């Protein structure tokens, strides 16, 4: 089965920007990318855990909201990619700490 990625962000603009950055990687690696832009999409993606999630990509806000609704998606996730401007990244320190506590400690790369 091809590796699975899920992009989570609060708006279509963020998801589109992240997706465009990931497109070359998807073509080179056969990575299957699913996008979730709202809480309804997050519920839909989370309702199919059999699809798995090897790579979770998103903004701190999107990842936090996704985590609150779909913790089971984190079970087999091996890579977490946080997309945000470095100069304001640390303003999300508390959100990221809570988020990282849910990831498997032995096989997750950030």
Q: What would the pLDDT profile of 31-63 be if each residue is shown by its tens digit?
A: 777 776 666 665 666 666 666 678 888 877 777
The pLDDT, as a whole number, for residue 12 is 78
Distance of CA 5 to the CA centre of its chain: 7
The reported pTM is 0.67
φ, ψ dihedrals at 26, nearest 5°:
-65, -40
The pLDDT, as a whole number, for residue 82 is 80
Distance of CA 7 to the CA centre of its chain: 5
The domain limits of the chain are 4-101
Q: Is 79 helix (H, G, I), strand (E, B) or coil?
A: strand
Is residue 4 within 8 Å of 54, Cβ to Cβ?
yes
Q: Which fold has domain 4-101?
A: Rossmann fold (3.40.50)
Q: Is 100 helix (H, G, I), strand (E, B) or coil?
A: helix
């Amino acid at each position: 089965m091809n590796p699975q990625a899920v992009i989570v962000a609060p708006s279509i603009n963020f998801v589109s920007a992240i997706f465009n950055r990931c497109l070359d990687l998807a073509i080179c690696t056969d990575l299957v990318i699913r996008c979730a832009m709202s809480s309804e999409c997050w519920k839909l993606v989370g309702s199919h855990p059999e699809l798995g999630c090897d790579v979770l990509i998103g903004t701190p806000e999107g990842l936090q909201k996704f985590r609150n609704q779909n913790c089971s998606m984190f079970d087999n996730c091996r890579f977490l990619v946080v997309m945000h401007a470095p100069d304001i990244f640390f303003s999300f320190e508390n959100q990221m700490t809570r988020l990282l506590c849910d990831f498997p400690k032995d096989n997750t790369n950030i």
